Amino acid sequence: MMLSSSLRPDALHAYRLFESDDVEETRELISRVMQPHTLSPSGNPRARSFMDFVRLGGSGLGVIAFGDAMRVEVESVEGYYLLMFCLAGRAEVRLQGRTMQVDRDRGVLCAPGQPFEAKLSPDCQQFVLRIDPAALATQTGTSSPKLRTEVSVGGGRLRGWLQQLQLLTSAPELLACASENPRVGVHLERLLLDLLVVGHTNASTMTGRPALAPGFVKRAEDFMTGNCAEALQLSDISAAVGVPARTLRDGFQRFRGVSPMQHLRRVRLARARDALLAAPGEVRVADIALDCGFTHLGRFAIAYKKIFGESPSDTLKHR
């Protein structure tokens, strides 16, 4: 059953990036926060354009309108995932060799490295979500998540995500807090991505494995999340959830595709990234690594860069 998108992101108006009736200026200003692209007006070339945009952790969300029909061409989306649907009007999007219709109920998700082309109706207002690949990797546990191109924005499975998005973008105080406080921004970013991933896919789509896991696997995940800073061994985890170590190991391999200790490392890496993004003042990478359960700084840095595509010190520098 489709539930028509009723998103009204009124609080985003306070984060107006620009208003312009010059196409080249519009293109240049959008490119500062999104991807360099080409704009080709199909109607009035002096129509009034605007963009609202706010950062949320490593990601960002906003609204773009061109005031008249427009053709947008991106040679290759680089450095982020782009989720787009329409608040008003419609769009015809060419992605991965396919032409798709985009409106209030149907969106598209473009992965890094893919070309993107859209023909926008005169009354089109786009809602855009720029998704940080590192943040998505944290939520999915893989640097190459398998996410479908079509996004059923009006579908029941994404209802929770849409409700959370509505809450955030219609509450000025909440949005201001998320924008000004890195820790709050990161937590809300993670919540939105969690809801998006849960609603848009399921475990079998992402891993090729059964979605339902035994209770002891879930208890072990909760235990590791709550105690990841401790020097845990497999025997500690199995004792905490009340099953033999071999049973625990077999359960994780079957239902999660990794060993319990590999899962623990992912939890620690995600905790470390959150801490680096929210770190105040002068803080050392080594201190954060130790607080998250890593005792070997070199191995931590290698594992971190493999998952997030940048070194821990780079994350700290650009937070």
Dump pLDDT digits (tens) for 5-57: 578 999 999 999 999 999 999 999 999 888 788 999 988 889 999 999 999 98
The whole-model pTM stands at 0.66
Q: Which fold has domain 214-318?
A: Arc Repressor Mutant, subunit A (1.10.10)
Query: Contact at 8 Å (CB) between 88 and 125?
Result: yes
Q: Which helix (H) or strand (E) holds 65?
A: strand 59-65
Helices 245-255 + 260-278 axis angle, to 10? 70
Smallest Cα–Cα separation from 88: which of 110, 65, 62?
65
Q: Cα separations (Å) of 198 from 117, 191, 234, 307?
A: 27, 11, 28, 20
Say whether 110 sits in a helix, a strand or coil.
strand
More confident residue, 314 or 85: 85
Q: What residue type is 246 in one-letter code? A: R
The pLDDT assigned to 136 comes to 85
Region of poorest pLDDT, from 95-109, 187-201, 208-222, 234-248: 208-222
DSSP bridge pairs for 155: 2
* Domain coordinates in residue numbering, the chain: 10-206, 214-318
What would the two tokens of residue 162 be? 């849409």
The pLDDT assigned to 207 comes to 41
Percent of all residues in the chain with a pLDDT value above 70, rounded to a whole number: 92
Please, what's the largest Cα pairwise distance for the chain?
Answer: 70
Query: Contact at 8 Å (CB) between 10 and 52?
Result: no
What value does the mean pLDDT take over residues 264-276?
88
Query: Contact at 8 Å (CB) between 256 and 213?
Result: yes
pLDDT tens-digit series, residues 130-186: 998 888 877 776 666 778 899 988 677 888 899 999 999 999 999 999 988 888 888
What value does the mean pLDDT take over residues 109-115?
90
142 exposure class (CB count in 10 Å sphere: 0-12, 13-18, 19+): middle
Residue 247 has pLDDT above 80, yes or no: yes
Render the burial of 250-266: b for 16+ CB within 10 Å, e for the rest: ebbeebbbbebeebbbb
DSSP class of residue 269? H
Domain 10-206: give its CATH code: 2.60.120.10
Topology match between the domains 10-206 and 214-318: no
